[in-house]
Amino acid sequence: MVPEGADVDHPALYFNRELGWLDFNWRVLHQARDPRVPLLERVRFLAIAASNLDEFFQKRVGGLKRQEVAGVLTLSHDGRHPRDQLRLIRDAVLVMHRALSASWSGELRPLLRSEAGVVVSDYSGLSSTQQAELREFFRDHIYPVLTPLAVDPGHPFPFISNLSLSLAVVLRHPARDTLHFARVKVPTNTGRWLRVPESPHRFHFVPLEQVIRFNAEELFRGMELVSVHAFRFTRNADVKRDDDEVEDLLAVMSGELRERRFAPGVRLEVEQAMPEQLRQLLLRELELQPEDVYETEELLALSDCAELADLDLPEHRYTPWEPVVPEPFLHEGESEEEQNVFAIIRRGEILVHHPYDSFTASVQRLLEEAAADPQVVAIKQTLYRTSENSPIVNALVRAAERGKQVAVLVEVSARFDEANNIEWAQVLEDAGVHVTYGVVGLKTHSKVTLIVRYEDGRPRTYCHVGTGNYHARTTRLYTDLGLLTCDREIGADLVNLFHFLTGYAPDQQYSRLVVAPREMRRTFEELIRREVEIQGEQGQGLIIAKLNALDDAGIIQELYRASQAGVRIDLIIRGHSRLRPGLRGYSENIRVRSILGRFLEHDRIFYFHNGGEPKIFIGSADWRQRNLNERVEAMVPVSNPALQRRLIGILDQAMADNRLAWELQPDGHYIQCHPLGEEAEINFQEQLMQSALERTQRGTQLWGMRLTSPSE
């Protein structure tokens, strides 16, 4: 309960961030249990929920454990010590672990067999002929790869890598009648699911660890096999560095990756049938406590179900979606000069919305044409995450090889992509690209590209400012926005931003771009307060924001005050929100909803009604303390009226959705939205797909161009 007259910073006005994150994962898991979702997509959502939980333990639980060890007594905004939060997390995760297992064993595994002909068997249930053939496969393909590691005075307890699946083997020496322990790591080179031979089913699999388990005697000849049980170990990935001592950021990150490999443990997952004595041995050797153990009756590492979700069964997947060529790129005119991507951008700013609009036909095309254009003299870009065999990186390399000045900031601190980014940085450096590795003390999360092209003897800038990464694969899976523009002020701002990122120029000024940590917080506070003023003057205060998470206490307090003044506030927040909506006297004018569907909602839109003269921004930042205080973020205003209407339409459609949306209640529970009575079902993402097709069809009717990107 919120005490009467409490100020907006009272702990009762805030949800716990960690429990809010777990609530988000419950919504992901619900997708796996929703019969309206195609079967293989349900399996994929199960894998995503399990993978999310792995990351949660590595980062969030790891961070809290580090605070606990350090004796941190600082309270979270909802008034809890790290130890209190760890207890709450354990209680919540125990329930989630059981739900994950039940979803697999009680729902998805039987449905895969009955509806899709995909059978996942236990090894013990196979015929003798099938077991014999798998034994031969084991001898030929698995046995040579395995490295059984004994534990005794001459063999110390082996190193257990993060998230690896292992078998704990108990053996008896027949002559001495002594018990011994060995560990066998389950290899990853064959995949988790082995095909069952001589099967009448089109798809018939058995888990790899079971094949090893039932043939483990061949690894320990001369010993008696007492028991074999699977376990999985999770390490802390929340490694903190002292930025005041950093001299070489790349070397520091390489060292941090090595440190993470040997980081302390945070979770031990075991089979329910594992004997207590064996559990105690693992706890002792891995330096864990009993509260770090999570047991399951079913398979461990359900994240590997993603392999099953990729089976060639299109009838059990979402109908394929091919991103369309954005309408401006269809109106290319007739002359070669008019078909030039720079000529298209000069005709007017372009808003691209992936995956509805093709990344290949817009952003990637811009980079590829810039790399080949003799008038382009410089390309600058921030890279936070990118894909294997990245067409973006390839374009940057080609540009450098052609003598253009290419400067790239590769953020080597991007979570779990550090090693990949270090490799890409070296590829770029080898090609002659000027590579920097970020700003010490700040993570560069902005998604920006600057191209300098000489036209009529003068340099002209072309820019892309987006909400998502330059990652060709995720642009098909994540929803993100980008603005393509040749606006001179935005171009000048990006020039200044890159001078800050690559050189010594911390006191840059920006006329249109809003940059964190310099001024973004102040800008948001002023925009919110302006709506309060307008509400008092005209009664038309309105804020709508679409983002990934909301946990910054300062922004939340501004929103509470705006609600108290009567400003209507609609928030579309995919992940966790620490703001409590619908509380009388504080937030009765605030609605919070979350949308989960086939695409991961990742775009950020900020709309302030401003008395009928809208101020609308897109950018890379969420309303989180880390985004506003600890990262370099960039937000760009969208002032073109047509593009503003399109963004407001996206927000309105998100608020009208009754198929993918969940409404956050004052007590922290989320309720899934459904059509009421005779209402039609409104699926936000399907509406946007249809809108993209209609925009492009209008263009093809006029210009006779193609509908979809040739190679997205």
The string of pLDDT tens digits covering residues 313-365 is: 999 999 999 999 998 888 655 566 667 899 999 999 999 999 999 999 999 99
pLDDT at 444 over 80: yes
Per-residue buried b or exposed e for 652-670, using 16+ beta carbons within 10 Å of the residue's own CB? ebbbebbbbbbebeeeeeb
Residue 517: is the preceding peptide bond cis (ω within 30°)? Answer: yes
3-state secondary structure of 373: coil
H-type alpha helices, 460-519? 488-502
Query: Tens digits of per-residue pLDDT, 188-202?
Result: 988 999 999 999 999
Question: From the candidates 97, 204, 316, 445, which is the catalytic residue?
Answer: 445
The confidence band for 246, taking pLDDT boundaries of 50, 70 and 90, is very low
Q: Which is nearest to 236 in space by CA: 62, 80, 116, 104?
A: 62
Q: What share of the chain is helix, strand, coil (3-state, %, to 5)?
A: 40, 20, 35
- Edge-to-edge, what's the strand order for the sheet holding 165-172? 149-151, 179-185, 165-172, 224-235, 265-271, 293-296
CA distance 613 to 609: 6
Dihedral (Cα; 240, 244, 247, 251), 10-degree rounding: 0
Domain boundary among 474, 509, 544: 509
- Residue 688 falls inside a structural domain: no
Alpha-carbon Rg for the chain in angstroms: 28
Helix axes 418-430, 391-401, angle to 10 degrees: 20
d(CA 505, CA 489): 18
Q: Average pLDDT in the 522-547 region? A: 97
Quick check: is 335 in a domain?
A: yes
Coil, helix or strand for 422?
helix
Question: Is 382 a domain residue?
Answer: yes
Whether residue 668 is contained in a domain is answered as: yes
CATH of the domain at 358: 3.30.870.10
Tell me the per-residue pLDDT of 566-612, one tens digit each, with 9 for 90 and over: 999 999 999 999 999 999 999 999 999 999 999 999 999 999 999 99
Instruction: Say whether both 223 and 80 belong to one domain.
Output: yes
Q: Say if residue 265's pLDDT is above 60.
A: yes
Token pair for residue 223? 């010993």
Domain boundary among 293, 316, 339: 316
Give the Cα separation of 17 and 625 in Å (integer): 12
Q: Is the distance from CB of 77 to CB of 578 less than 8 angstroms?
A: yes
Residues 267, 282: Cα–Cα separation, whole Å: 11
Local confidence band at 244 (pLDDT 50, 70, 90 cut-offs): very low
Tally of domains within the chain:
3
Percent with pLDDT over 70 in the chain: 93
Pairing of strands 568-573, 590-595: parallel
Domain for residue 16, yes or no? Answer: no
170 and 246 within one domain: yes
Verify that 140 and 264 share a domain, yes or no. Answer: yes
Cα dihedral 46, 50, 55, 57 sign: positive
pLDDT confidence of residue 298 = 85
pLDDT tens digits, one per residue of 165-175: 999 999 999 99
Higher pLDDT, 247 or 176: 176
E strand map for 589-655: 590-595, 600-601, 605-608, 615-619, 631-637
What's the predicted TM-score (pTM) here?
Answer: 0.93
Q: How do strand 661-664 and strand 590-595 relate by DSSP bridges?
A: antiparallel
Q: State whether 505 and 520 are in the same domain.
A: no
Q: Mean pLDDT, the chain, as a whole number?
A: 92
Same domain, 215 and 351: no
Q: Among 204-208, 233-237, 548-552, 571-575, whose mean pLDDT is lowest?
A: 233-237
- For residue 122, give the CATH number of its domain: 3.30.1840.10
Above 50 in pLDDT, residue 710? no
Verify that 474 and 407 share a domain, yes or no: yes
Measure the CA–CA gap between 291 and 90, rounded to whole angstroms.
8
How many CA atoms, within 13 angstroms, populate the side-chain half-sphere of residue 228? 21
Q: Mean pLDDT throughout 374-385?
A: 94
343: exposed, middle or buried (Cβ count in 10 Å: 0-12, 13-18, 19+): middle
Judge if 137 and 212 occupy the same domain: yes
pLDDT value for 580: 98
Distance CA 381, CA 464 (A): 9
Active site residue 602: no
Look at residue 70 in the predicted model and tell me its pLDDT.
Answer: 86
* Cα distance between residue 458 and residue 478, in whole Å: 38
Q: Does 536 lie in the same domain as 638?
A: yes
How many other CB atoms are found less than 10 A from the CB of residue 4? 6
Helices (H), 70-139: 82-102, 109-116, 128-137
Predicted local confidence at residue 711, as pLDDT: 44
pLDDT at 565 over 80: yes
Torsion of the alpha carbons at 306, 309, 310 and 312, rounded to the nearest 10 = 160
Domain presence at residue 457: yes
- Please state, in angstroms and rounded to a whole number, the distance separating the CA atoms of residues 671 and 669: 7
Are 301 and 157 found together in one domain? yes
505 found inside a domain: yes
262 pLDDT more than 80: no
135's CB contacts (< 8 A; 6+ apart) are: 215
The CA distance from 289 to 101, in Å, is 23
CA 437 to CA 378: how far, in whole Å? 19
What is the mean pLDDT of the segment spanning 153-165?
88
| Mean pLDDT to the nearest integer, 476-499 | 97
Whether residue 81 sits in one domain with residue 146: yes
From 282, 316, 350, give the residue that closes a domain: 316
- Residue 378 sits in which domain range? 327-509
User: Does some domain include residue 23?
Assistant: no
Residues 159 and 287 in one domain: yes
Does residue 476 sit in the same domain as residue 549? no
Q: Indicate the pLDDT class of residue 275, thresholds 50, 70 and 90.
A: very high
